[in-house]
Amino acid sequence: MLKQVAEGVLVHESEFIQSNSIVVQGRDGVLLIDPGITGDEMAALASELRELGQPVVAGFSTHPDWDHVLWHANFGDAPRYGTARCAASIQDLLSNVDWKARVAEVLPPEYAEDIPMDLLGLITGLPAGTAQIPWEGPKVRIIEHQAHAPGHAALLIEERGVLVAGDMLSDILMPFLDLEATDPLEDYLAALRLLESVAGDVDVVIPGHGSVGGAEQLRARITQDRAYVQNLRDGGVTNDPRVGPSATLDWLADVHEWQLQQLAQKERDGTPG
């Protein structure tokens, strides 16, 4: 069920890791950001939009992870966008004849049979340096960075004071680094600086997974994420509650240890951590 979080901005929260699908109302319809996760959820979202008289006129994927490049036939054939690097990354995956099998390996088993893949990743890369999403609606500024995944974009809906953060600034997930990058730690810290630079214009932050927050939560999450990344850089000791015994998801402690191991390996291999 859609919940309004700001004027003309609505969110649907999935059962899967509190995944947020974002709807931005425009002149002739809506911009749909990161829709998911199961086929039934997306069909219900499409039905709710029809009842509101709000067709989907554009889509956007904040980054190329499987759960952010999904789509459903009931949304129609509106153009679906991502940054150039995001689109190149997912197109590289789709160029493999066995791409469905590769994606299936990382799907959560309890949802795997309910996740439609026929329209996965069919996005158009916007030209490098594109400043905003091309659509007839509120200006949505693209803030591209390289934290978490190639061509990751946060989106600032300026007229509404809303920051769509993609897979950053979550209250339930600590930072997940792009460990294939040359310098994943600095990439993440640089992205946090970018988001901090627009924090004064933000009243609502919507993470890819987790709770929608206000301006105070935005700044607190930036501080918390920065501390986590700096602790990874400085040896890995952390008191981040998203990783400890009180964590919402018990498997995050294993992800934390895996990130430490991968960073240590990069250091041994002589590449930046």
236-253 pLDDT, tens per residue? 778 899 998 888 888 999
CB-CB neighbours of 69 under 10 Å: 29
Q: Which residue has the tokens 């680094």?
A: 177
Q: Is the pLDDT of residue 173 over 60?
A: yes
Residue 25 pLDDT: 97
Q: Is the pLDDT of residue 75 over 80?
A: yes
Which residue ranges form the domains of the chain, and what is each CATH number?
3-268 (3.60.15.10)
Q: Is the pLDDT of residue 273 over 70?
A: no
Q: Residue 22: helix, strand or coil by DSSP?
A: strand
Q: What DSSP state is assigned to residue 64?
A: S
Please report which confidence band the pLDDT of residue 67 belongs to, taking 50, 70 and 90 as the band edges.
Answer: very high
Q: Is the pLDDT of residue 68 over 60?
A: yes
CA distances from 6 to 11, 62, 233, 244 (A): 10, 20, 36, 32
pLDDT tens digits along 118-136:
999 999 999 999 999 999 9
Residue 181 pLDDT: 94
Question: What is the side-by-side order of every strand in the sheet holding 30-33?
Answer: 3-6, 9-13, 20-25, 30-33, 56-60, 80-82, 124-125
Alpha helices in the chain (DSSP H): 39-51, 84-94, 99-104, 184-197, 215-233, 252-268
Instruction: Give CA–CA dist 152/85, Å, rounded.
Output: 8
Q: What DSSP state is assigned to residue 252?
A: H
Average predicted confidence (pLDDT) for the chain: 94
